[in-house]
Amino acid sequence: MRSNDSMESMLRKLRYPATAGRREQTLQNIFNVMDEPQEQAPAASRVHIGRITMNTRTTRLALAAAVVLIVLGGLTFRPFGVGGKDQWWLAPPAAWGRELSSALDTIKAVSCREQTVFTAADGSQHPSSTWHLFYVSSDRYRRDIYDGQVLREIQWYVPDGDGMIQHYIRFDLGCYGALRHEGSFGTEDPVERMRFAIGLLDKADTVLDQAILDGRNCIGFEIRGDGLGNHPDLQVLRVWYDVRTRLPVRMERVGRPAGGHTVGTPTTVLDHFTYDSQLPADTFLPQAPPQGFINAHPDDLPRQ
């Protein structure tokens, strides 16, 4: 086998999450290999690189180049296990980032649940009593807001020129109305949140262990700190993807407690995703309000 082929084979087997400690260990392993005599060192003391001939100038220069890439370029290596061919998340982020975006482009409709969970200082968790169901199509969405098991409000977001109209019915207050918003769906749209997450995955600090979520085999990513960019309201973003479909199964956005907040750290969770669900044709059409409801904004109603 040519030395360049050996080098490529070795680099493909050296993939693992690039923490600072692992990068340092990789450097040491590569230097050890470069300093070894032609005879192979004991297997336990070196990186598993197969049968590589180390006495050629080309191979040694290639290894030196790998060191430079690790130190200066932050090259990320991840180990291929059995069946690594199907483990798309082991490829460079640019490759599977395109795959995840392409998977999102195939969505015709999706529904999911959103709920906030507060984590107290003692580690106990307290789900909020208010939660949402989202129904999203290619150009509009609907949000059903529940208090416990009681439907409190329905909101429909419908395109209107360069903006959109939010139609609403408040069942608890007996009112309805419409508001105009500038721009598109924005951060409230779950699909836009999925795309936001894909844009950050190349900065993922951790590849989470595989897990079964909602009956699906999933792989997860965690981004924190500087990887979140200019989003001071976020501490951590975690996303789990279906290994087979490349579509999100669960998203967690860990925020920061508001000043004086006594409940704990808020985590907004999106889960219970259903893709290309057979939604009724009128799902995204604003409904007529029940008899007796008044056309008014909730803030304009007299206080009880």
CA-to-CA distance for 197 and 5, rounded, in angstroms? Answer: 36
The conformational region for residue 186 under phi > 0 = left, psi -120 to 50 = alpha, else beta, is: left
What pLDDT, on a 0 to 100 scale, did the predictor assign at position 290? 96
Closest by CA to 12, choosing from 99, 75, 68, is: 75
What pLDDT, on a 0 to 100 scale, did the predictor assign at position 65? 43
What pLDDT, on a 0 to 100 scale, did the predictor assign at position 105? 85
What pLDDT, on a 0 to 100 scale, did the predictor assign at position 79? 35
> What average pLDDT values come out for the chain (304 residues) when binned by 10 residues?
50 48 50 49 35 43 42 38 60 81 86 92 89 89 95 93 90 94 64 82 86 92 84 87 92 79 81 84 92 93 75
Tell me which amino acid residue 223 is.
I
| Interval 207-218: pLDDT, tens | 888 999 989 999
- Beta strand pairing status for 175-182 and 294-295? parallel
Beta strands in 64-103 (DSSP E): none
What pLDDT, on a 0 to 100 scale, did the predictor assign at position 26? 52
What pLDDT, on a 0 to 100 scale, did the predictor assign at position 291? 95
CA-to-CA distance for 197 and 136, rounded, in angstroms? Answer: 17
Q: Where in the chain is the domain with CATH 2.50.20.10?
A: 100-275
What pLDDT, on a 0 to 100 scale, did the predictor assign at position 57? 45
CA-to-CA distance for 172 and 150, rounded, in angstroms? Answer: 9
- Torsion angle of C-alpha atoms 258, 262, 263, 267, degrees rounded to 10: 20
Domain 100-275 belongs in CATH node 3.40.50.450: no
What pLDDT, on a 0 to 100 scale, did the predictor assign at position 6? 53
What pLDDT, on a 0 to 100 scale, did the predictor assign at position 147? 97
pTM here? Answer: 0.68
